[in-house]
Structures are given as C-alpha cells and as structure tokens.
Amino acid sequence: MTTLKNPALLKTYLVHPSTSSANSNDRDNNNDSNDNNDNAKRVDVNNPFNGEVIGWVPSHTKQEVEQAVANADSVQASWAAQTAEARSDLLMQWADLIDANLDDLATIMTLEQGKPLKESRGEISYANSFIRWFAEEGKRIYGDVIPAPKASQRISVLKQPIGICAAITPWNFPAAMITRKVAPALAAGCTILVKPAMQTPLSALALQQLADEAGIPKGVLQVVTGDSATVGDVFTQDARIKKLSFTGSTAVGRTLMAQCATTLKKLSLELGGNAPFIVFADADLDKAAEGLIAAKYRNAGQTCVCANRIYVEERIKDEFLAIYLPKVAALKVGNGLSDAVDIGPLINNQAVEKVTSLLKDALDKGANLLTGGDINPLSERIVNPTVISNVTADMDIAHEEIFGPITAIATFQSESEVIAKANDTLYGLAAYFYTKDLARSWRVSEALEYGMVGQNTGLISTAVAPFGGVKQSGFGREGSKYGIEEYLIVKYWCQDIG
C-alpha cells in the first residue's frame, strides 16, 4: 500500500503495509458510529490493477441508514437557516482542505479505481471546482417579484431548499460525481446522504472526513456504504428524503425511478450514454484525432460521455486513420500509480468480459481489427487500446455503451445520413462533431438529440456548464446556474395588501 502524505487521512479504513487486513482496533467513529467490530459488516475494497485489498468500509444496515436520515432531519432546519455566506465559507474551507490533500486523494482514487494518477489529480481538481462554483452560486439564489394583475396584489416567488437529499454515485468518477451533487445541495441549504459505488467508496469517505474537518456540521453530509438495494430502499422509500440524485446506469435509474413513485420524490437521473463522434471531411483532422483520443480513452473508455460510435466521412477515412492510429499506438498502459501511464485497468472482470464480448461480436460480424484487441500481460484487467473499422448497425457495439478502450469506426456519405445514424439510439447524453463549416455547425448541433454537444473538442465537462442528458440518458442538470435549481423548490407567494 502506498504511503499517504497525510497519515490521518482515512487511517481507519486503509490497509497499511504492516497489516494483512484492516485493523479494527484503529477505527474511529468518523461516519459509522453505529457499526461494531464484526467483520461481517465490512466490505473489502480492491485495487483493480492487481486485485490487492487496499482497505475496507462498513456495510451499513437498514437501521443505520435510517439513523443517518434521522441525523439529517435533526439538522436540516438549522442548516437551511444559516446564511448563504456562512454555508459558502464552510464549502470554501472544505475546498481548501481538498486542495491541501490533493495528492493523497488522487492516490486513493487510483488505488481503488485504477485510473492513471494524472487523471485522478485532474478529477480531484474538477470535483473541487464544483464546490467552489456552488459556494459562490449559493449566494445568488434569487427569487422574483412579478407585476400583479390587481392593484392590491403583490406576487413574489421564493426559492427555498427542498430539504433532505440523497445521492447514489458510480465508480467511474469516485469524487466528481459526489461533489457535483453535494456542493449544490449544501449551498442551497439542504442536507445530503451519499451512497458511493462499493468499488470506490474510499474517495467518498476521504471527502467526508475533510468536510468534517472543515467544520460542516455533523449530519449535514453523511456517506453511507453497503448493500446498494438496502440503501436504495431507504433512499427511495423514506418520506423524510425529498430528493434523490442518481448517476449510474439506465437500468438502475429505471428501478430507482419506479421505487421513488411511492413517495413522489424529486429526481435527477444522470444515466448511460452512447455518444456519436462525427468527423466531416472539412474538419481539421489532426484536431479531430486528438479530440477522439481524449473522448475515447480517458479513464480507459469508462466515462458516460466517452465517444462510443465513431462516424468518419468515407472519403477521408484512410487519411484520418493514418493520423489516428499512431496516436493510439503511443498510449502507454499500466499501473495507474505510474505517472507515465495513460490507460489503466478496467474496473473489474465483468467489465473486461463485456468489452471482449462486444469486440468478438463485432469481429464475427465483419469488423476489421486495426490494432489491439488483446489483454495486456501486466494485468488481467487491462484491455490494450483497440481500433476496429467497418462497424455496421447490426453489431452490438453500435448500440451498447462500450465502457472500454475500443474505437469503433463506421463511415458515412452525407450529413443527413450521419445525423440519422447518430440519433438512432435510446440514449441522448453527449455528442461530438468536427467541422469548420459555419452553416453546418448550426444545422448539426440543432439536429443532434443530445443534452450536450461538443464541436471541434472532445472534452466538454466543466463546472460552469449544464451537464445532463435527454431520452434514456435521464433528466436534470448538474453544474452551472441550472445545477442548484435541482435542490430548490419554487414557492409562489400572493399577498393582498388592499
């Protein structure tokens, strides 16, 4: 286990070199005051690169999750009553502590998630940008005064915190998917409970520890860990929770939406994607190839906005591949803890099986393997960067989220043809296209049925812009001035002063 600069960070949960398993006597009551030393209530956390146990987290029971809701309930009113400025100051102090511990947080993330250290550092900074953005945005929750139809009337609109919130987050961005829910919730005056994915719960607990140290009152932010169905039941059924924000797969999103029906919770769903990446013949091909590397291979292809279906205009296909393939060959795979590495392991064996079976199906149906296609000897979970061409609509890879390092290239002849192909999916999260033509820019960006469109760029995520999807990629927006609205209710106030 790599040593952290701050030995107090997660000291309870990390496995240290001198111990073969986590030391139960070392535990503090950071967020699990109700659990005991029973090993049955612990879940190991593994390094996806080599399978080593790097730590553990509690498996909270239903009663413990309900107690966490009660804790939130007991401080919800006092947190909402604080001034926006006071909440902002605490969020800023949290952000300062995250910056001060950035290297350690990145190390923890790489150990539990596998992504290269440089990406982990980038994610911690990205995660922190949401805290700083919403610390400011909380001071700008303005209502309205509306001209009334009667002289004696006054009409006002108040924006108020919705109340206790819950968040369920995935493993591919163990910090940023948390802060982009927690920061707006806290800034708006809501308390929040967070259930991180059980592959990557340590980053969440480290963030919680730093929030506690920053002085965010106990009960305002609570991370609960354990069986997802148990936690999910409480998060969706408990009427004290007013809002659920979920990031993860479309299948689980559907289940949670159905479960929330009984308590009619406000919902935000950030679900799966199937992003098209279109290269028109007039594009800057160097820039397009660079953008595709970023949009395809970040996090080993495991992002919801990863380019999934690549459409290259037929007449420039060879030219584009001549630029693109050497860039893929230059990607360095390995243990994410090495700074030189560009691509680490996939999260687990099921992910490897899914990616290899999508590849096999495509090759069986006539795709051409241009590079990669095999497992790297360094780790059974590293799939070498792969490029296939001649992808057709009958292949599974053309419809499913790949979530792995495979570039699947198809060709097209006309703008209308490629727009129809790009929109031929249940998903609508991110789409990318490359062109220098101004009129086409408008036509294509308006025609794409997606929540986010990147033109001449493969990187679109930022705290200042609204992130979210349409169709079966979900609804709700995170980041930007829109993100805080998800945690507010609109109250219309009509007065007769005559």
Residue 62 or 491 with smaller CB distance to ligand NAP:
62
Residue 10 or 177 with smaller CB distance to ligand NAP:
177
CA dist 360 and 367 (Å) reads: 9
CB-CB contact of 331 with 343 (8 Å): yes
CA dist 491 and 156 (Å) reads: 8
Which helix (DSSP H) or strand (DSSP E) does residue 70 occupy?
A: helix 62-81
Q: Measuring CA to CA, how many Å separate 249 from each of 246, 331, 395, 451?
A: 9, 28, 21, 16
* Pairing of the two strands 164-168 and 153-161: unpaired
From the number of C-beta atoms within 10 Å of its C-beta (0-12, 13-18, 19+), residue 466 rates as middle
Residue 254 or 421 with smaller CB distance to ligand NAP:
254
The secondary structure of the chain in percent helix, strand, coil, rounded to multiples of 5, reads 40, 20, 40
Which residue out of 64, 123, 137, 270 is catalytically annotated?
270
Closest approach, Cβ 351 to ligand NAP, in A, equals 8
Looking at residue 262, what DSSP letter applies?
A: T
Looking at residue 272, what DSSP letter applies?
A: -
Residue 107 or 169 with smaller CB distance to ligand NAP:
169
Closest approach, Cβ 56 to ligand NAP, in A, equals 14
Active site residue 304: yes
Closest approach, Cβ 187 to ligand NAP, in A, equals 19
Active site residue 270: yes
CB-CB contact of 430 with 323 (8 Å): no
First to last CA, the chain: 72
Which residue out of 165, 260, 304, 306 is catalytically annotated?
304
Closest approach, Cβ 404 to ligand NAP, in A, equals 12
With vertex at residue 450, the alpha carbon angle to CA 447 and CA 455, rounded to the nearest 5 degrees, is 70
Residue 116 or 272 with smaller CB distance to ligand NAP:
272
Closest approach, Cβ 259 to ligand NAP, in A, equals 8
Residue 180 or 317 with smaller CB distance to ligand NAP:
180
Residue 304 or 328 with smaller CB distance to ligand NAP:
304
CA dist 232 and 260 (Å) reads: 10
Reference 279, options 308, 229, 250, 313; nearest CA is: 313
Q: Note the residues at the interface with ligand NAP (CB under 6 A).
A: 168-173, 177, 195, 197-199, 228-229, 232, 247-249, 252, 255-256, 270-273, 304, 401, 429, 469, 473
Closest approach, Cβ 453 to ligand NAP, in A, equals 15
Closest approach, Cβ 196 to ligand NAP, in A, equals 6
Q: In the numeric block, which tokens belong to residue 25?
A: 């006597």
CB-CB contact of 289 with 320 (8 Å): yes
List residues with catalytic annotation: 270, 304
